[in-house]
């Protein structure tokens, strides 16, 4: 039985496990139908031309892990940004781990999707927001059909949440192959501010496929900064579907750091539903081996006087492959839009490749839209310059790579995250730079 059939038939088993007497379950039932009709995307779909899911869909994934798992904090501490005080929502093999988590209902809600879906006090919020940003594409629909667990974050009006929130997913390898489908909902009301860090981490070499959906709503003048750290094992793949709906004068940023995993696909979508909105999409990708990272972004400018900034840097070694597909859509009404997009890449080997494609659809006439993509090699004259000062080849390369990624790293607002990212990169490149960038 192929994975699609297995999933469709698992849906019945899933219905025995959840409350089907809710409006949410109607949404799920709709979604499984959509998935059944559309199936997994294939290379025939324009948006999947350069990313094939074939090899990862071949695994015999468990859809519902059977065993409960527990892990000790000390074993996974290194995956947390542990040098800052934070809220934590931790999942192990898709199941919530209360002993590793630190949630709250004190003025804000930082808790579980399963609670939000079942408790009456969240009903109105869920009805207003759940699945209101996600699209009806096949993978998001698949996630919607099985949506049950994940992070639920609601920040009411006028709250600046001082502590960042970390969402972590661990897989233990108890199943020979595991499919995870976390579903996150984040609602930030007027004037509020929150920072979120998300990470998926496999702890063994058993295959894991994560198909996650995150919906983020930033209401009037809210500020959301979201950081995704993707540095998983070679046996893990991630399809990240993130949808950000912004109301007027809100600021939302998503930084995606992709350094690992077999296949990573980021579907990142921003919808600007008000004036004077600011959207920031930035990423650094540094991969090697046969790794594959695909950034598929959309910024939809619907109203006038808004801005968007996209800046993606990619460094590809060995036989790794990258895709950047950045779509900017400017409605006729969205005059005075300022949309900036840049995608710069360095290929370290002649077997590495990147497909980069900006897609601008502009229906307004008074807009500033710029885009640029470059593909190059490491600057040889800079390499010689550094080496002639005594800096060995490996370290010189690393310095150039940091320099290349610098303006994305520099816009990370939490210093501990910046330090952590710097460390991950340095580890990956096998250097010890002896100073913080």
Partner 1 sequence: MLKINNLHASVEDKAILKGINLEVKPGEVHAIMGPNGSGKSTLASVIAGKEEYEVTQGEILLENENIDELAAEERAHKGIFLSFQYPVEIPGVSVTNFMKTAINETRKAKGLEDMPANEMLKMIREKSEMLEIDRKFLSRSLNEGFSGGEKKRNEIFQMAMLEPKLAILDETDSGLDIDALRIVANGVNKLKSKDNAVIVITHYQRLLDYIVPDYVHVLHNGRIVKSGTKELAHELEEKGYDWIKEEVKA
Q: At what angle do helices 380-387 and 393-409 cross, to 10 degrees?
A: 120
Minimum CB distance to partner 1 smaller for 54 or for 388: 388
Q: Which residue, among 362, 61, 414, has the nearest Cα to 236 in the 3D structure?
A: 61
Residues in contact with partner 1, total (CB under 8 A)? 28
Minimum CB distance to partner 1 smaller for 122 or for 404: 404
Minimum CB distance to partner 1 smaller for 233 or for 282: 282
State the minimum distance, in angstroms, from the CB of residue 232 to partner 1.
27
State the minimum distance, in angstroms, from the CB of residue 337 to partner 1.
29
State the minimum distance, in angstroms, from the CB of residue 73 to partner 1.
33
183 exposure class (CB count in 10 Å sphere: 0-12, 13-18, 19+): buried
The residue with tokens 């409350």 is: 19
- Binding mask 323-362 toward partner 1 (x if CB under 8 A, else -) reads ----------------------------------------
Q: Which residue, among 370, 239, 266, has the nearest Cα to 323 in the 3D structure?
A: 266
Minimum CB distance to partner 1 smaller for 109 or for 395: 395
State the minimum distance, in angstroms, from the CB of residue 370 to partner 1.
19
**Residue 205 CA: distances (Å) to CA of 175, 176, 328:** 11, 9, 38
State the minimum distance, in angstroms, from the CB of residue 349 to partner 1.
17
Minimum CB distance to partner 1 smaller for 284 or for 334: 284
DSSP single-letter state for residue 199: E
Which tokens sit at 310? Answer: 């996209």
State the minimum distance, in angstroms, from the CB of residue 390 to partner 1.
4
DSSP strand pairing (208-218 vs 236-246):
parallel
State the minimum distance, in angstroms, from the CB of residue 380 to partner 1.
7
The residue with tokens 């593909």 is: 375
List strand residue ranges (DSSP E) for 302-337, in order. Answer: 307-316, 321-330
CA angle 253, 257, 261 (to 5 degrees): 140
Report the 10 Å Cβ neighbour count for 428: 17
Q: Which residue, among 295, 304, 302, has the nearest Cα to 327 in the 3D structure?
A: 295
Q: Which residue, among 130, 175, 120, 140, has the nearest Cα to 26 in the 3D structure?
A: 130
Minimum CB distance to partner 1 smaller for 54 or for 381: 381
State the minimum distance, in angstroms, from the CB of residue 308 to partner 1.
24
Stretch 367-426 residues interacting with partner 1 (CB under 8 A): 379-382, 384-393, 395-396, 399-400, 402-407
Minimum CB distance to partner 1 smaller for 311 or for 395: 395
Are the beta carbons of 314 and 354 closer than 8 angstroms? yes
| Secondary structure (3-state) at 349 | coil
Give the binding site for partner 1 (CB under 8 A): 379-382, 384-393, 395-396, 399-400, 402-407, 433-435, 437
């Amino acid at each position: 039985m192929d994975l699609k059939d297995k999933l469709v038939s698992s849906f019945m088993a899933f219905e025995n496990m959840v409350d089907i007497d809710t409006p949410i379950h109607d949404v799920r039932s709709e979604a499984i139908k959509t998935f059944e009709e559309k199936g997994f995307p294939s290379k025939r779909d324009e948006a999947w031309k350069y990313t094939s899911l074939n090899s990862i869909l071949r695994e015999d994934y468990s859809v519902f892990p059977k065993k409960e798992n527990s892990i000790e904090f000390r074993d996974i501490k290194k995956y947390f940004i542990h040098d800052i005080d934070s809220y934590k929502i931790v999942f192990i093999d898709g199941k919530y781990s209360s002993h590793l988590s630190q949630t709250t209902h004190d003025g804000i809600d930082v808790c579980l999707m399963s609670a939000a879906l079942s408790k009456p006090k969240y009903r109105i919020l869920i009805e207003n927001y759940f699945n209101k940003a996600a699209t009806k594409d096949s993978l998001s629909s698949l996630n919607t059909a099985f949506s049950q667990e994940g992070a639920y974050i609601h920040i009411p009006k006028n709250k600046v949440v001082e502590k960042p929130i970390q969402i972590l997913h661990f897989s233990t390898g108890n199943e020979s192959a595991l499919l995870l489908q976390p579903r996150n909902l984040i609602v930030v009301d007027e004037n509020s501010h929150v920072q979120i860090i998300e990470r998926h981490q496999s702890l063994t070499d058993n295959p894991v496929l994560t198909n996650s959906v995150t919906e983020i709503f930033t209401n009037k003048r809210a500020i959301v900064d979201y950081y995704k750290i993707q540095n998983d094992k070679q046996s893990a793949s991630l399809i990240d579907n993130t949808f950000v709906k912004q109301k007027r004068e809100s600021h939302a940023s998503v930084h995606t750091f992709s350094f690992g995993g077999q296949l990573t696909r980021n579907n990142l979508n921003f919808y600007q539903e008000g004036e004077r909105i600011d959207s920031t999409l930035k990423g650094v990708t540094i991969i090697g081996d046969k790794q594959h990272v695909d950034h598929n972004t959309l910024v939809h400018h619907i109203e006038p006087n808004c801005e968007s900034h996209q800046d993606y840097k990619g460094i590809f070694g060995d036989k790794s492959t990258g895709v950047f597909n950045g779509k900017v859509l400017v409605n006729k009404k969205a005059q005075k839009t300022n949309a900036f997009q840049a995608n710069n890449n360095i290929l370290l080997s002649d077997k590495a490749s990147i497909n980069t494609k900006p897609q601008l659809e502009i229906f307004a006439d008074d807009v500033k839209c710029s885009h640029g993509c470059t593909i190059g090699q490491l600057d040889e004259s800079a390499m010689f310059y550094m080496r002639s000062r005594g800096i060995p080849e490996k370290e010189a390369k690393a310095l150039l790579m940091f320099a290349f990624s610098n303006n994305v790293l520099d816009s990370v607002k939490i210093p501990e995250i910046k330090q952590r990212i710097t460390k991950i990169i340095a580890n990956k490149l096998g250097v010890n730079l002896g100073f913080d960038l």
